[in-house]
Structure 1
Amino acid sequence: MKNNIVKSLPLISILYLGLFSSVSAGSFELSSQDISHGELMSKTHEFNGFGCSGSDLSPHLKWSGAPKGTKSFAITAYDPDAPTGSGWWHWQIVNISNNINEVITGAGNITKDLAPKGSNQIINDYGIRGFGGACPPSGHGIHHYRFTVHALSVEKLEIPPSASGALAGYMINANTLESRTIESLYKRD
């Protein structure tokens, strides 16, 4: 039995090193000056409409350490708690060049032209192109808003201008090498 253990040590060492390097290889990070994981967002990021009266500004997002082979980025903002049966797409922006690593507060407002050049903002579930802020139904409790940056394996996603959130989500997920999420919270009393 002792010989079997000794013979297995090189294999165990290789498996351990492989596991350790795959765990430590991921250095893709996401941060924000505006939102924090597990914390309530400010009214700045609340929608202005549908009974909500916020400033409707997309949050600042900054990322670093994208995986090797990243050719572009996409950003999504999604509320899985929306009482729709399919959640709610608040923002999807695709075709962000791989030399970009940050979007400023308000980049989701298409009238201000603050999004990275060459990117494409998809129509959200409010029916408008760009960012639409949090607006959970009054008394519905806390909703979770997942702001995710996706490192993509393609330079450009071929998505029609009128693409649904589901189609954009499918194309993003099909080409994602790695992603990072900040899950912020929001509620209306």
Structure 2
Amino acid sequence: MSIERPVSPNPYDLLPATASFAVTSTDVTDGAPLKDDQVAAHGNTSPHLSWSGAPAGTKSYVVTCFDPDAPTPSGFWHWVLVDIPADVTELATGAASGALPGKAFHVRHDGGEAGFMGAAPPQGDQVHRYFFVVHAVGEESLGVDASASPAVVSFNLAFKTLGRAILHGTYQH
């Protein structure tokens, strides 16, 4: 039996509008269930992401994975990768656990570690949505360091994002 809560809106619809661009993945199909590799109990592997068409003036990227359906008032951050160089337009499957490009670094996800944490909703909870977002940033550095919280990264993105590319998968345990 699943727990039913009202479905929250797409959290990115609540932010100031920005340009959009394309993101694709060989691991995540938009709106479809995640593969086992992207589930904490089965693979805990960051998905492949490839993007194109970022707005002019993009100087870096931030990649995030956010679950707005977690049973908390603030959702749950699964991945926050900051200061990806502007010439990088693809992350391979598992990139979160390998060498990062340029000066890119991870901020700890809500599970407390740097890197990617796969889907892990509570047993019997509703279907969760996992928003994989590539944020095009108009500065080479977002201006935070690895000690920042995902909320601080998100706050900075609200003022420095030129565009967003969004892909979301789902998962229910």
TM-score by length of 2: 0.86
Cα distance in structure 1, aligned partners of 2:111 and 2:69: 16
The equivalent residue for 1:108 is 96
- What pairs up with 1:11-90 in 2 under 5 angstroms? 28-47=21-40, 53-90=41-78
Seen in structure 2, the aligned counterparts of structure 1 residues 183 and 64 have a Cα distance that, compared at 3 Å, is same
- SS of the residue 2:96 aligns to: coil
Partner of 2:3: none
Counting helix residues as a fraction of each chain, which structure ranks higher? 1
User: 1:169 is matched with which residue?
Assistant: 154
Q: Which amino acid aligns with 1:146?
A: F
The sequence identity of aligned pairs, in percent, is 39
SS at match of 1:77: strand
Q: Which letter maps to 1:69?
A: G
- Equivalents in 2 of 1:160, 1:35: separation in Å? 28
> Of residues 101, 111, 117 in structure 2, which corresponds to 1:132?
117
| Residue pair 1:63, 1:102 contacting (<8 A) in 2 also | yes
Residue 177 of structure 1 aligns to a residue in which SS? strand
Mapped to 1, the partners of 2:20 and 2:39 lie a distance apart of: 31
Q: Is 1:155 aligned to residue 171 of structure 2? A: no
Query: Which protein shows a greater Rg?
Result: 1
Residues in 1 aligned to 2:81 and 2:44: alpha-carbon distance in whole angstroms: 16
Equivalent-residue separation in structure 2 for 1:123 and 1:162 (angstroms): 8
Report how far residue 108 of structure 1 moved.
1.3
Which residue does 2:105 correspond to in 1? Answer: 120
Higher RCO (CA < 8 A, seq sep 6+): 2
Can you list the C-alpha shifts for 1:104-123, whole angstroms capped at 9, x where unaligned?
011112xx32x323101110
Q: Is this contact kept in 1: 2:20–2:164, CA < 8 A?
A: no
Instruction: Name the count of aligned residue pairs.
Output: 155
Give the match's secondary structure for 2:153. Answer: helix
Residues 42, 73 of structure 1: alpha-carbon distance in 2 compared, 3 angstrom cutoff:
same
Query: Shift of the alpha carbon at 1:27?
Result: 7.1
Where in structure 1 are there 5+ consecutive unaligned residues? Answer: 1-25, 48-52
Quick check: 2:107–2:145 contact (8 Å CA) kept in 1?
no
Which residue pairs with 2:85 in the alignment? 97
| Equivalent-residue separation in structure 1 for 2:155 and 2:140 (angstroms) | 16
| Superposition RMSD in Å | 1.2
Q: Which runs of 5+ in 2 are unaligned?
A: 1-18
Aligned equivalents of 1:153, 1:36: Cα separation in 2? 28
| Structure 1 SS opposite 2:155 | helix
Q: What amino acid is aligned across from residue 154 of structure 2 in structure 1?
A: G
